[in-house]
Amino acid sequence: MGQVGLSPWRTRVAGIGFGAFLAAPAIAQGQLVFPLQLTDLAKTHNCRPVSGFVTDEQSNQAAPFSLSYEFHYEPAKVLLTAWCFKNAPNTGQTYTLLILAERQDHPLRTCPDEIPNIKRIGRPSIEAEPMIPHDFVMLNTGERLTVREPRVMFGVRNHVSWGQDFYACVAGRWAHYEPEKK
């Protein structure tokens, strides 16, 4: 609510009492044209954005980034997540997930603005939903969270061809969704 989300196929506008028009990511000879915020963020992380389409669980092609605006703040605040790589693209490449939450009090601001060394990439999106923290493992320690009651988890969902991954920001660190096998 109150956000504009961009997808490669259409621009969705949702607001209260006003409309805004933004161009969807342009396609130039099979390449995506990146928003300026993504270009700037990639430069600060010394990486190059993934410039081709990725495959997600719902379609054959999806953008390797997600850009939206929080319009209930003056001025509107950017929410961006995107894939980039630090080396020349090759087989076995690892990728970095970049996260930009422009609003100073956004819950994702407590975590680092990148998650490195990810091998499976798809369409990323910033989300918040009730989940059980015990189903998450901290990326830096491998420690499983102990809380077993549902909490609203803020993070990035990676929509890949076989389903979805979720990375949650927990106490200033990133955790990966890995339910216990029974």
Per-residue pLDDT tens digits for 147-161: 999 999 999 999 988
Centre a 10 Å sphere on the Cβ of residue 36 and count the other Cβ atoms it contains.
7
- Reported confidence tier of residue 12, pLDDT bands at 50, 70, 90: very low
Cα separations (Å) of 79 from 9, 65, 99, 101?
A: 19, 11, 8, 5
DSSP structure class, residue 38: H
71-112 per-position pLDDT tens digit? 888 888 999 999 999 876 565 688 999 999 999 999 999 999
